[in-house]
Chain A
Amino acid sequence: MAGMQLTQSAAAVVERDARGRLRTSSSKGANRAIPITLAVLAVLTVLTFARMQYGAVDLGRAALQALADARAMFLQPALDPPYGASHFTWETVAQSTVITLAVTVVCTLLSAVVSFLLALAASENLSSPAVSNAVKAVVAVIRAIPTILWVLVFTVAIGLGSEAAVLGISLHSIAYLTKSYSESFEEIDGGVIEALRASGAGFWQTVFQAVLPGTITKLLSWTFIRFEINFTNAVAVGAFAGAGGIGFQLYQAGTRYYNLHEVGVIVYVCILVAFALELVSVRLRRRYIIND
């Protein structure tokens, strides 16, 4: 082994492992969080596969079948025969896309307004600690519940029509936006608020003259990002309850008519809309949230 010529203080630092080899990272005070987390996740994964129920199907055959189905869906999308079965016309598909977008708009605007108010209450710098913590706790609980459960619960509680879907989607959206908004609010310079307060401005004046102008771009970016998520949710929820729209047609094509070609068309429509929305929201995020 190479004898090292080191100064005393340096030699004192060098560590060797059990076999006398030089260590390239210190055993003391090293950050073990990442390896530990990785290990836990790996163990859980192995455990999952060990106890998972794989069903009665022959996985190989099923995989082939799935590929064939995927082919029908992605490579042969069609509404009309020979592949499609004319369950839907382009008009109805377009109509229901518009409906889903309408639900998305309504949910997003509704939750943006409510979230703005809640976020004011949730921000530590604008509200009292007690109120802030209470709002944050409630919001965390709401956020923990999957959107689809909210929608199903509202469906039985309120009944029919788009209200249940809108409220269900909005609730989760509100929780998300409240968190994002209040984080934006908390980032604003406390001095500005203090300055306005010192000149005798009231709460709402401070909010609209200092807080809102200072954060509006971030709020808009978050709102748009949520718009994108809400669209996805509206599609998913449409499959189950309430508002119908493109999601319901997707569900019908899949579970009622078993026509993957028609599913394919609807999927492409969803992808197209999602692409467009994503393009905008990625831009906004780059511009106003990450770089700000």
Chain B
Amino acid sequence: MSTVDAACPSACSRASVDLGWFRRRQLITIGGVALAVAVFQLGASICDFSLAYALTSVPAALAWMLQNFMPTASSLGELGYVLEQTVSTVLDSVAATVIAAILGIVLAVLGSRTVGVEWGPVRGIIRAFASVVRNVPMVAWALLLLLSFKQNEFTGFLALFLTTFGQLTRFFLDTFDEIPTGPVEALRACGASFWHVVFQAGLPLAAADLMSWMLYMVETNIRSATLIGLLTGTGIGFVFQLYYNSFRYDCAGLVIVLTIVLVLAIEAVSNVARRSMI
């Protein structure tokens, strides 16, 4: 320390001698890591999770999975049926997204800060409503609808629609909030009415982002549809469960492989679409 003082005149001697600064930083870092470890341990003990067991069983589990879930020649016989269900899942995802997007855009337009209606409560109500719809667990929507609409594709569609609707409205609200306010103001100053502003400034400015969110939702929905399908007995979720529960893991594996192929394909297509929209 003293060497520093000697070597380092005037200004720095006051500021720099405080090497304890480094110690404090280190303590903060160590503290952060320790906190994370402690939280992890706490969580693990609460939910009775053994990291060691989990990690050691992963290799065996993966091997077992590859062995059992690898589609076999005989499972290919089910390809037609699985394919049919997969396609229906994809179509449901698309339809749920489109319908949800139409309603979502209406709500988002009304509720957004930039183009929305000026009367405050409308905005608050729309945001609260969207937030509740979105945060109700998907399982709860499925259970609710299952009771009245019974087990069929339409029920799956409805459940998917409700969750998508909540999410898309949120994304759309954000999108509309982020469009530049200048053009909107400019159109108002021209004497444009509410709907003029929405269609001539709001939608053109937001279009690319809205589409991007929609495409993203289609992808996500295929995954969500699997869960909903398990509950409502439709689409790939249902066929997966059917094979899984009857121990025909090879056929279940076929469902997984098809899901991968499909999701990746849709991801690729929507990436192309998204890129060419900018």
Question: Could you tell me which A residues sit within 8 Å of B by CB distance?
Answer: 31, 33-34, 36-38, 41-42, 44-45, 47-49, 51-57, 59, 62-63, 65-66, 69-70, 73, 98-99, 101-106, 109-110, 140-141, 143-149, 152-154, 156-158, 161-163, 166-167, 232, 235-236, 239-240, 243, 245, 247, 250-251, 254-255, 258, 260, 263, 266-267, 270-271, 274-275, 278
Contact = CB atoms under 8 A, between A and B. Distances in A.
Contacts of A54: 152-154
Nearest to A44: B94
Interface stretch (B8-16, B57-65, B186-194): B57-65
Please tell me the size bucket of the interface on B: 35 or more
A18 B215 CA distance: 34
Contacts of A162: 47-49
Nearest to A141: B260
Given A106-B49, A251-B139, A167 B54 contact: yes
A66 B159 CA distance: 12
Interface stretch (B38-46, B70-78, B107-115, B116-124): B38-46
Majority secondary structure of chain A interface residues (helix, strand, loop or mixed): helix
A44 B277 contact: no
Contacts of A236: 137-139, 227
Contact of B260 (A37, A144, A148, A254): A144
Interface in B135-161: 135-140, 143-145, 147-155, 157
Interface of B: 36, 39-40, 42-44, 46-51, 53-54, 57-58, 60-62, 64-65, 68-69, 88, 91-92, 94-95, 97-99, 131-132, 135-140, 143-145, 147-155, 157, 207-208, 211, 214-215, 218, 222-224, 226-227, 230-231, 237, 240, 244, 249, 252, 255-256, 259-260, 262-264, 267, 273, 276-277
Given A55-B152, A98-B46, A146-B223, A263 B144 contact: yes
A109 B139 contact: no
Contact of A45 (B47, B94, B143, B215): B94
B94 A41 contact: yes
A45 B227 contact: no
Contacts of B237: 148
- In this complex, the member of A49, A157, A167 whose beta carbon has the largest number of chain B beta carbons within 10 angstroms is A157
A44 B95 contact: yes
Given A33-B276, A33-B277, A102-B42, A271 B147 contact: no
Nearest to B62: A157
A163 B57 contact: yes
Contacts of A141: 260, 264
Given A48-B94, A52-B153, A147-B227, 11 more contacts: A34-B211, A45-B95, A57-B152, A105-B42, A143-B263, A145-B259, A148-B237, A154-B61, A156-B68, A236-B139, A263-B144
